[in-house]
Amino acid sequence: MTTRSDMRNVAIVAHVDHGKTTLVDAMLWQSGAFSDRDTVEKTGERVMDSGDLEREKGITILAKNTAVKYSGPAAQALGLTEGVTINVIDTPGHADFGGEVERGLSMVDGVVLLVDASEGPLPQTRFVLRKALLANLPVVLVVNKVDRPDSRIAEVVSETQELLLALAQDLDNEGHEIDLDSILDMPVIYASAKAGKSSANMPADGGEPDDDLEPLFKTILERIPGPTYEEGAPLQAHVTNLDASPFLGRLALLRIHNGTLRKGQSVGWARHDGTTRTVRVSELLRTEGLDRMPAEEAHAGDIVAVAGIEEITIGESLVDLEDPRPLPLITVDDPAISMTIGINTSPMAGRVKGAKVTARQIKDRLDRELIGNVSLKVLPTTRPDAWEVQGRGELALAILVEQMRREGFELTVGKPQVVTKEIDGVRHEPMERITIDIPEEHMGVVTQLMAARKGRMETMSNHGTGWIRMEFVVPARGLIGFRTSFLTETRGTGIAASIAEGYEPWQGSIERRLTGSLVADRAGQATPYAMTQLQERGSFIIPAGSEVYEGQVVGENPRGEDMDVNITREKKQTNMRSATAEQFENLIPPRKLTLEESLEFAADDECVEVTPDSVRIRKVILDAQERFKVAARERRANK
């Protein structure tokens, strides 16, 4: 095997909001890829978060790659006078986008693991570390945000090392070969990504590192090996991601494992069905910073983009025509949550000019999503105008629906459900490992919340700062709608994060939403007069003046049953006062729900209407009499 010394391929992985994208930005600035840092700092935007949703939510949704050209002292010390190209994969930190992480790890030779100096390792940290160990990738630990006033650097390093050893022991028991020496010898870098500083020596808690990112670059060069390949071996290139260009069409992002790829070359395209077709590489692009530049050829270890193969998908390979050696297909964990997505069937369907409302348009859009999202599944339902979409979690599916809404689609979205499976004839359901950080005074109420959802406490620790960390294993369906109750009970101070924890036998019934819904019993316009008279019965989720229809959920009833209300009632005019006098000043402002909150709020017999300009919650059966008959039949059937 031959090793390239002029290149490193690394993935930066961490739990959500631990600073991955900020660190990649700092690496780009200090390598000279950008010169207008002040402008970007003033806007508060990260250059690697390119999508509108990523900027709005402050999280990475799609894995992205960039190339850092480093020619500092560490490169010169290794005799690399022309510098080293460091291909960096910035991966999502949220567990729902784990498929992006798995693809990213298949492209690299090492991992830079970021851990918050205060929060320490969290569920996604466990997930990415397990995947890295399975692939035998060396790990560089970066303790980020060491300048936080509540940092506890030594404890976090110790917790991460203990997690590594525990995972290595688990994998060893499962029969996997794990290199314990590399785990025990894991290098540690202390950094403040926001300040663009790092150090190989542990600073005082809350202290800022003295150096720039040179210690990090040096550690990457010394501890992460360059790409290896077989001299003279035929072409082997693995497609790990897809992109699109308005000029070139579909782009396949791939890692070349062996051989050479040239512009204009005819190669073999090894497809999912086992067949191989001859295709031509019409364009070859190499990443420099965040830009893709034309290239004539690329070699083993390079991460490049190719154009000219319109139907190529993730996991397929480009191979030599005379000696084809396809690489294994990329596999990801099974989806745990599903929801039904179909055409908008409400009385207000089709009112938005230019909206995409047909079943064919929705199915085509879902099929396009499958091309680039390996962790998603789309299955048919009994209805020809609706499909079951399965994904890793609520957030991943909500992001898909939000993207479709912004593209002009009108949809009816069902309440999220869990995806079960039969194991040895027994029904099993997906479980989640959730880590919760809360102030001490909320421990009792959070424990009650988790107990009602069949949560099983695994560990509890007190860091001595007034905060408690608890770890539960809970059915995935128990976390549907959990976030809203959790934030309410902890007054917005709690932090919760979860990761898949395999399957266990069905845990029994779980108590759903304890409150009922206020349901409009007729179509019309919600009046301030009616809402003022009804607000003692519950809280509203629509503003006054909104147009409503029969069966639309307009508010929340504190009691456990639904209540049909006339929210369109008007005050009769007299010769003494006007119909609207003194109504607005007594009306409590409504609670505005986002798309994700609407999906959590919806009861089992409700769904969410999504259009480009609004999100509404409604009953699946709009007619009140028909709902009453169905409920009566269900009660008789359950006796």
Is there a common fold for 2-226 and 333-419+594-623?
no
Residue closest to 327 by CA, chosen among 15, 5, 106 = 106
Q: What is the pLDDT of residue 208?
A: 74
How far, in Å, CA of 304 to CA of 280, rounded?
A: 15
Q: pLDDT value at position 71?
A: 86
Q: Which two tokens stand for residue 577?
A: 């006062």
Q: How far apart are CA 20 and CA 107, in angstroms?
A: 17
Q: Let me know if 469 is exposed, middle or buried by CB neighbors in 10 A (0-12, 13-18, 19+).
A: middle
Instruction: Round to whole Å and give the CA distance between 565 and 551.
Output: 10
9: region left, alpha or beta (phi > 0 left; psi from -120 to 50 alpha) = beta
Q: Name beta bridge partners: 244.
A: 250
Q: Which CATH number fits domain 333-419+594-623: 3.40.1160.10, 1.10.4100.10, 3.30.70.870, 3.20.20.450?
A: 3.30.70.870
Q: Is the dihedral of CA 105, 69, 16, 143 positive or negative?
A: positive
Sign of CA dihedral 581, 585, 588, 594: positive
- 3 state DSSP class of 258: strand
**Cβ density class 495-531: b for 16+ within 10 Å, e for less:** bbbbbbbebbeebeeeeebebbbbbbbeebebbbbbb
Annotated binding site: 17-22, 144-147
Task: Kindly report, residue by residue over 446-458, the tens digit of the pLDDT.
Answer: 999 899 889 999 8
Asked if 418 and 481 touch (Cβ cutoff 8 Å), the reply is no
Contact (Cβ atoms closer than 8 angstroms) between residue 437 and residue 468: yes
> Which residue positions form the known binding site for GTP?
17-22, 144-147
Question: DSSP of 300-349, one letter per residue?
Answer: TT-EEEEES-TT--TT-EEE-SSS--PPPPP--PPP-EEEEEEE--STTT
Q: Which two tokens stand for residue 181?
A: 């020496």
Could you say which residues of the chain have pLDDT below 50? 38-46, 48-49, 53-62, 93, 582-583
- The reported pLDDT for the residue numbered 575 is 60
How far apart CA 491 and CA 512 sit, in angstroms, is 21
pLDDT of residue 72: 85
CATH (residue range 2-226) = 3.40.50.300
- Greatest pairwise CA separation for the chain in angstroms: 97
Q: CA 209, 212, 213 angle in degrees (round to 5)?
A: 105
Sign of dihedral through CA atoms 522, 524, 530, 536? positive
Helices and strands (DSSP H and E) totals, the chain = 16, 37
Which of 292, 240, 297 has its CA nearest to residue 66? 292
- For the full predicted model, state whether its pTM sits above 0.95: no
How is residue 398 written in tokens? 């909500």
CATH topology of domain 422-505: Alpha-Beta Plaits (3.30.70)
pLDDT of residue 587: 83
H helices of 490-556, where? 528-534
Rg (CA), the chain: 27
Would you say domain 236-319 falls under CATH 2.40.30.10?
yes
Per domain, the residue ranges of the chain are 2-226, 236-319, 333-419+594-623, 422-505, 516-592
Whole-number pLDDT of residue 45: 45
516-592: CATH class: mainly beta
Question: Which one-letter amino acid corresponds to residue 496?
Answer: A
What does the angle CA 191 – CA 196 – CA 198 come to, to the nearest 5 degrees? 30
